[in-house]
Amino acid sequence: MQEQYRTVAREGVYESEINRSRFICGLAPAATEEEAQAFIARIRRQHPTATHNCFAYVIGADASVQKASDDGEPGGTAGVPMLQMLLRRDVRFAVAVVTRYYGGVKLGAGGLIRAYGGVVGEALDDLGTIVRRRYRLVTVTVDHQRAGRLENDLRATGRAVREVRYAEQVTLEIGLPEAETAGFRAWLADATAGTARCELGGEAYGPPEH
């Protein structure tokens, strides 16, 4: 697995005018291909009279899924430059849709490539990106008496508390960098006088870091 990946900070829209054509770039994070396709369909519904709605998306921390569409523009002049811009910026789990309203001036193949790739780059600059790092999920079980203080201590030491569940005992789910798991066990034993139970789980990405 990749140690980290970069993605779009938030969903948003960026607009640019090039030789009287309007280029509107919609960007969004997308955890799955289905989410990316749903976003594309939504943008198309918002712009039914647009000349083109071209798209590109990259799913997977290792960019295992890559799709692009020129939506009627000359082959390779829209979707591919959009996709290349996402890849060049190391952006993953993201979808871009560029809506074009033709303004009467032809841009030529080179102009289209610059326009479609460029507006995605400008949209990324405008909306910002975040880095998500790979974490090991750790489940800590502790008695009610110590739970509140332990949660405060975890947050105070900058550890990512993802979930807290209350039952007979309190279960806290934490995200830890792989390298810190051994040190964390020692810290936890010290913090709870050896009363907490610690189980290593699977892996996930998060929390975001700018």
* Whether residues 81 and 174 fall in one domain: no
Structural domain of residue 21, as residue ranges? 4-127
* pTM, 2 dp: 0.74
Instruction: Judge contact between 172 and 142, C-beta under 8 A.
Output: yes
Q: Give the CA distances from residue 45 to residues 10, 49, 50, 53, 173, in Å, rounded to whole numbers and listed in that order.
A: 20, 9, 10, 10, 40
The whole-number average pLDDT for the span 42-53 is 97
Using pLDDT thresholds of 50, 70 and 90, give the confidence band for residue 1.
low
Q: Which two tokens mark 98?
A: 């560029």
CA angle (2, 137, 162) in 5-degree steps: 110
Among 74, 106, 127, the domain boundary falls at: 127
Q: In this model, does residue 206 exceed pLDDT 80?
A: no
Please tell me the least confidently modeled range out of 100-109, 148-157, 196-205: 196-205
Looking up residue 118, the CATH number of its domain turns out to be 3.30.230.30
pLDDT of 87-99, one tens digit each? Answer: 999 999 999 999 9
* Whether residues 116 and 60 fall in one domain: yes
* Whether residues 159 and 104 fall in one domain: no
Instruction: Judge contact between 160 and 135, C-beta under 8 A.
Output: yes
Please tell me the least confidently modeled range out of 41-55, 111-125, 173-187: 173-187
Looking up residue 200, the CATH number of its domain turns out to be 3.30.70.240
* Whether residues 105 and 136 fall in one domain: no
Using pLDDT thresholds of 50, 70 and 90, give the confidence band for residue 209.
very low
Rounded distance between C-alpha atoms, residue 100 and residue 205, angstroms: 34
Number of domains the chain is built from? 2
Q: Which two tokens mark 11?
A: 């969903």
